Structure 1
Amino acid sequence: MKNAAALAALLAMTGVAHAQSPPGPEAPGPGGGGESPAVPTSPQEAGAPTAVDGRVTYQPDFFAQYTPQTALDMVRRVPGFSIDSGSDRRGFSGTAGNVLIDGGRPSAKSQGLQDILGRIPAKQVVRLELIRGAASGEAAGQSVLVNVVRTASAGSGRYEAEAEISDSQRISPRGELSYNGRIGQMEFTLGADRYMEQRPLGGIRMLRDGQDNLVGARSDWTPRTYREANVNGAISTPLFGGTFNFNVSGGRENFKTALESQGFTVAPVSSVVSPAGPTVVAVPADSFRLSIDDRNRERELSADWERRFGDLTFKLVALDTREWGGNDESTRVRDNAGATAAVVSQRTRYESSESIARVSASWAVAPSHRIEFGGEGALNTLDAALSLTEDLGAGPSPIALPAANVTVEEERFEGFLTYNWKVSPRWTVESGVTVETSTISQSGDTTASRTLTYWKPNVQVSRQIGTRDQARVRLFRDVSQLDFGDFVSSATLADNTVAAGNPDLRPQATWRLEGVFDKRFGENGAVALTVAREWIEDASDLVPILDPRPGAPIPIYFDAPGNIGEGEVFSIRLTGTIPLGAVLKGGQVKVDLNWSDAEVTDPVTHRTRQISGFADTEANIEFRQDITAMKLAWGFEFYKRAEVQFFRVGELETYEEGPLMFGFVESTAIRGVKMRAFVENMLDSEFKRERRFYSPDRNGADQSIT
């Protein structure tokens, strides 16, 4: 099946307007202050990175060759660093990404790090600090960070306009506006953006029997449209001797598609034989049309207040997020003559919320000792309803599913303590522990309640090697975030499958031991090798669950998200930034290569296998050349990952895509406005999916293949 956009060409224009602004005070680094790292002062040193105590400092001159317009442009060019917007770990700090702004993490959760960085003008950035090891301060769960240090600005605006044309031959406009200003001592940011995609998806489904004989086919064509619009605002002002920040954001998105699928039966023509085998003839058969209208709205309010009391830094954070959404799907099946044979409809509605309150304190006990402690409380809720009907000609009749109408609520509390100790100029130790308890209750079609308690220790030892290189060893326990949608049943009409809600779902817990060697060379060369071993408890995967409804007519097993016991993962990751100046002036290659081996025990076959949805190899390679004299840059990105599989009760589903490649050319030669054109899926790669069915389950023989 072809990729969503076999060829997508885009042209973007980005500009920045600045008001003259006097230099302002710099924000302290992570951890509430202390001595600032050494920065170059002489002209000869300007732009060259410096390394002190696990921090590599990059001045704005270092990024001048890339003509950055925002902090995002600068962070993306930090050698050996890739932006991590956050993971599914539990807790407010656990979902943090690996970028700090003025020594602290943004209190907003729904706004991505890249969106926030994209609203900071490059001229506001005083320096970037790459922080490795225990020097990372408040960055829970991250061993490598970038801290963006800014100066005050009187006013600066940014605009971006973009248009895409894909196989649909329709133009999809996109745009973004943001403005940073100052009123007295209060700084503010306003922003808005709009995004649109119109990318059709077409392909052929080949239907085979258990002996791999071709018995049918389907031709699919799926025009798809996605729209998204967001607004945001933020203020920062002195308050009660500290700094108060307030953020507000809201947005909506909508996805629509209409799949047209024409079926064919095939039969061999015995009189015509080719070297590949008998020729077959395709006869039109049934067809169906699937329409989907998926939409949601979201708003978020967050605030934080921070103040220093001598050696103690105190911080309060509050956050509230609300989301409303729904989905309407309908499938109309037509027989060989084109008459309607059946109509299946699905309607879902949901409302979710998350409220968090957090208090923390950082105490610089001595120059070589720092303690952080605090607590957090959170309330998460989901109210979801699903209705599924089938009309075979006599009118719609409901299809009953377990856990179709459910309310889920989680109350969670945690306390944490970390201790950072700089043993010597070369050795640093960071240790800590978090204890959390949560009560999850469920009502509606299914009723359940349980209390879970987890302790999450963490210890990391860092060793400086010379002035720039570093080795780190870390052991920690991680607990994943539950997706409340997994408690509610859902149907996929296009695949004729049902995913049941699982009231017994538990978070996956993982012990991880990792070692990292981080080497720097030249001005912008960096390589990091990570070797890790993980031991998983309550591994998250797909499990068979029996229809839990009382009086179910026959035993029915559903596929559902669940826990399948213990598992292990061994992984190796190589990342790096390799300058090519010796052979290609201004050239640079960034690599991110991953290999892993994961093992769990299959709950159906009881044999060892891969984790569902887990790719054992993944490669991302970026090339870029900046031709400074021409104010021009060009490059490409290559991505490939191994196939992934999903193990259901009676089905093995396999996905494979790529390799994918896109290229770009950008210039700032016209009045400093960045013009960028790029092409996606340059290799016209395919997306392949195979569904292999078994009876009565995956212990049985192949029955059919799609």
Structure 2
Amino acid sequence: MAKWARHAASGLVLAWIAAGAAWAQEAPAAAGPDGAATFPAAFFAPYNPVTAADMVARVPGFELRDGDERRGFASAGNLLINGERPSSKTSAAELLKRIPANTVTRIELLSGAQAGLDVRGQSQLVNVIVARSAQRTAATTYSLGLRHLQYSNRVGWLVQASRSFQIAPNADLAVDVQFPNLLGRGDSRDVLLSNTGAVTGARRVLGKPENIGVQASASLRWRPGPDDRVNANIQLAPNFNLLETVQAEVTGAGAPRSLLVGHTDYDNNYTAELGADWDHQVSRTMSLKLVGLLSNGSVDQRDVFEIQTFPSSFLTRTQTRETRNGERILRARLKWTASSAHTLEFGAEGAFNYRDTTLDIVNQPRGGALVRVPLAVSNARVEETRGEVFASDIWTLSPAWTLEYGLNVEASRITQSGDQRKERSFRYVKPRATATHVLSPSSTLRFSLTRDVAQLDFAEFSSTVDFINAATTQGNPNLVPEKAWKARAEWEQRLAPRTALTIAAFADRVDDVHDLVEIAGQDAFGNIGRGRRLGVEVRGATPLTVLGLPNAELRVTALWQQTRVTDPITGDKRSFSVPLERQGTPGGSPTFNTGNKDWAYVVTYRHNLPELKASWGASVVGWSGREEYRRVEAITYRRPAPRLDLFVETTQIKPVTARLFVNNLLSPDETRTRTFYQGSRASGAVQRVEVRDARGGPEGVRTVGFQVSGRF
């Protein structure tokens, strides 16, 4: 980590120690003897929240996560609503946006054992308690926003409206409609170098995306009787996207070398999901829950590139890709409170996943015939049938100690048809154990050991072509899930309602590391053996009263980790090669998305001005570079400065919140270096180098926006 980053981290620790002197001046934390923390609705009033998402974002020391990397319905993340896991794979933040803030009575912060549910893999959960239908009236929330992205010369918009209302004394319905529009522009400039560092040319790439979407959803909560609860969710999201691309390349002397003009349409582009669950109280000590989920997705992508190679060559290249995918899940869980010391769970889950892809590439010289471009594994249908049984016990050894342990046994079969045919069967035994020790009402220790199996990405079973970046990734029908033993120790300290500090250390032994491999002279996603991951994560929130700022608070989330695996090409030890994770969106808040990066942090400062009914704040987001190791090239991404976001908001007209924001104020460019080797990276002999200065796009772009949100 850079020297300045170490100094900043030391300063933050000292600030927290200093803030501890002010803890005694605040009211005691609302914590029970089991270490659970409760935040009533009044706790969030200073933030004038519009939806439950605004409230959860202010829970001290908590980071909302979706958990998408986990298999089956276990990927529901760390969110509970009225003590239940949502029967949906929609992101947790999106689900919370559909719940009006005035219907939330309190928010509870729990450990996995305290939740008493099938929430394996989660050390902390947030439980949003929503008032029953009979206790509240209809509520509507809305959000209207405009945003301008740097370089785009266009203004995009966001319109969202949600309404929650009672349709019967024992049932309520929430509906949500969104119309996001993102109009951007990317500007990348490459310098082409020889192996000696001499400039051999330059390239400029302009991208102009236009992403327009519609998202409609509805959620039903029904209580047909005192022993039954039914929840249903439905969502449909069609998208209307296109992309225009221009790429020009010149020689070292400035003479034109090539010109490409591209147009990409995304037709028949949608996702749809239907989920439902039924919870029946069989007896005072036993309950049964059934969950069903059905989802479908589709996208037809058509790329047309007109390519002029000077002085006289002209080619039209057409790439047509059609993708269909879907998932079906059925799950049953029986919960039995056998005694005051033991809560047992038994269950089973069955799932069927599929992805069907076709890719056709055709070249046509000017005035010439169509020439089909062959590509291995360009057409593939992948299906997975999976079954799982599980059992667990939450054992309360004493008021201070709780042990949650369980076992999952999974069997699956994956078949692939199309250009290649393959059928494989897998069986995994996945034990887990979590011990929670409540040191005091404000201090908790947690220790966990879990056997984890990652979800395969079926897109990697078929080949893809990135023509603009001249990168082909071949489909790999032999890909297997990454598996890991994950150990974690976590200490949580809460001494005041707005003061929390969580420090966690983790160590993972990873088998079948997911990375890039070589197949028949081509790059492909695959498995490269055993690796390890070690790290430390810190989450904290504190008011700054001790610094004379009674209405200000600081929140920090940070992670440092080290990954190591043996490179299959060179035989050297290196970090995991990872895809590019984004740290935020142009119009949204920064996200803590670390992936396998060496380090990352998000620091947020907020200052309320009660006399002006306003607030302002800033977020600083930083992360390390990343490397990608291919057969003949090494790609390095570097970002010279952190992302800085600023906002000012006012509640002069309640319950309306008006917000002006500038995201990525410094607009730092991202530098990408592609180093190509002779033969392969094992040779160590550099053939050529491309250095790209990327402006615009999802990260290197300044966004100015204005948003009005409220409820009625």
TM-score > 0.5 by shorter chain: yes
Structure 2 Cα separation of the partners of residues 200 and 148 of structure 1: 39
In the other structure, the counterpart of 1:587 is 552
Amino acid corresponding to residue 214 of structure 1 in structure 2? V
Q: CA distance change for structure 1 residues 294 and 655 in 2, over 3 Å: closer, same or farther?
A: farther
Residues 182-331 of structure 1 aligned to structure 2 (within 5 Å) = 182-184=166-168, 185-239=170-224, 241-267=227-253, 282-295=254-267, 296-309=269-282, 310-331=284-305
From 551, 556, 566, give the equivalent of 2:530. 566
Residues 466-615 of structure 1 aligned to structure 2 (within 5 Å) = 466-546=440-520, 557-583=521-547, 584-613=549-578, 614-615=596-597
From 379, 389, 392, give the equivalent of 1:418. 392
Q: CA distance change for structure 1 residues 180 and 665 in 2, over 3 Å: closer, same or farther?
A: same
Contact preservation (8 Å) 2:29, 2:496: no
Query: Secondary structure of the residue that 1:62 maps to in structure 2?
Result: helix
- Structure 1 or 2: more helix by fraction: 2
In the other structure, the counterpart of 1:358 is 331
Contact preservation (8 Å) 1:47, 1:61: no
Residues 38-77 of structure 1 aligned to structure 2 (within 5 Å) = 49-77=30-58
Residues 92-171 of structure 1 aligned to structure 2 (within 5 Å) = 92=73, 94-109=74-89, 111-138=90-117, 139-152=119-132, 153-166=136-149, 167-171=151-155
Query: Secondary structure of the residue that 1:502 maps to in structure 2?
Result: coil
Structure 2 Cα separation of the partners of residues 318 and 580 of structure 1: 47
Contact preservation (8 Å) 2:28, 2:495: no
Q: CA distance change for structure 1 residues 402 and 565 in 2, over 3 Å: closer, same or farther?
A: same
Structure 1 Cα separation of the partners of residues 331 and 308 of structure 2: 56
Residues 611-630 of structure 1 aligned to structure 2 (within 5 Å) = 611-613=576-578, 614-630=596-612
In the other structure, the counterpart of 2:165 is 181
**Superposed CA offset, 1:65-106 (max 9, x none):** 1111211111111110011022311120x2011110000011
* TM-score scaled by length of structure 2: 0.87
Structure 2 Cα separation of the partners of residues 588 and 527 of structure 1: 13
In the other structure, the counterpart of 2:626 is 644
Structure 1 Cα separation of the partners of residues 564 and 213 of structure 2: 39
Structure 1 Cα separation of the partners of residues 323 and 40 of structure 2: 47
Contact preservation (8 Å) 2:553, 2:605: yes
Contact preservation (8 Å) 2:214, 2:238: yes
Query: Secondary structure of the residue that 1:703 maps to in structure 2?
Result: strand
Query: Secondary structure of the residue that 2:102 maps to in structure 1?
Result: helix
Aligned residues: 636
Structure 2 Cα separation of the partners of residues 645 and 178 of structure 1: 42
**Superposed CA offset, 1:19-74 (max 9, x none):** xxxxxxxxxxxxxxxxxxxxxxxxx9999623331211111111111111211111
From 338, 342, 345, give the equivalent of 1:372. 345
Residues 645-684 of structure 1 aligned to structure 2 (within 5 Å) = 645-657=627-639, 658-684=641-667
Residues 365-444 of structure 1 aligned to structure 2 (within 5 Å) = 365-393=338-366, 394-444=368-418
Structure 1 Cα separation of the partners of residues 357 and 314 of structure 2: 30
Query: Secondary structure of the residue that 1:395 maps to in structure 2?
Result: coil
Q: CA distance change for structure 1 residues 516 and 401 in 2, over 3 Å: closer, same or farther?
A: same
Query: Secondary structure of the residue that 1:73 maps to in structure 2?
Result: helix
Q: Which piece of structure 1 moves more, 654-663 or 618-627?
A: 654-663
In the other structure, the counterpart of 2:8 is none
Query: Secondary structure of the residue that 2:214 maps to in structure 1?
Result: strand
Structure 2 Cα separation of the partners of residues 622 and 490 of structure 1: 39
Structure 2 Cα separation of the partners of residues 232 and 218 of structure 1: 44
Amino acid corresponding to residue 274 of structure 2 in structure 1? L
Structure 2 Cα separation of the partners of residues 640 and 306 of structure 1: 43
In the other structure, the counterpart of 2:71 is 90
In the other structure, the counterpart of 2:3 is none
Q: How far 1:136 sits from its partner (Å)?
A: 2.6
- For structure 1, the 5+ residue unaligned runs are 1-43, 268-281, 547-556
In the other structure, the counterpart of 1:79 is 60
Amino acid corresponding to residue 600 of structure 1 in structure 2? V
Q: CA distance change for structure 1 residues 160 and 379 in 2, over 3 Å: closer, same or farther?
A: same
Structure 1 Cα separation of the partners of residues 519 and 205 of structure 2: 32
In the other structure, the counterpart of 2:317 is 344
Structure 1 Cα separation of the partners of residues 363 and 400 of structure 2: 69
Q: Which piece of structure 1 moves more, 282-291 or 439-448?
A: 282-291
Contact preservation (8 Å) 2:29, 2:495: no
Structure 2 Cα separation of the partners of residues 46 and 451 of structure 1: 57
Structure 2 Cα separation of the partners of residues 620 and 358 of structure 1: 37
Amino acid corresponding to residue 436 of structure 1 in structure 2? E
In the other structure, the counterpart of 1:35 is none
Contact preservation (8 Å) 2:209, 2:244: yes
- For structure 2, the 5+ residue unaligned runs are 1-24, 579-595, 691-712
Q: CA distance change for structure 1 residues 433 and 411 in 2, over 3 Å: closer, same or farther?
A: same
Q: CA distance change for structure 1 residues 640 and 600 in 2, over 3 Å: closer, same or farther?
A: same
Q: CA distance change for structure 1 residues 648 and 390 in 2, over 3 Å: closer, same or farther?
A: same
* TM-score scaled by length of structure 1: 0.88
Contact preservation (8 Å) 2:33, 2:440: no
In the TM superposition, structure 1's runs of 4+ consecutive aligned residues that sit over 6 Å from their partners are: 44-47
1:632 equivalent to 2:605? Answer: no
Structure 1 Cα separation of the partners of residues 120 and 166 of structure 2: 31
In the other structure, the counterpart of 2:679 is 696
Amino acid corresponding to residue 115 of structure 1 in structure 2? E
Structure 2 Cα separation of the partners of residues 262 and 682 of structure 1: 29
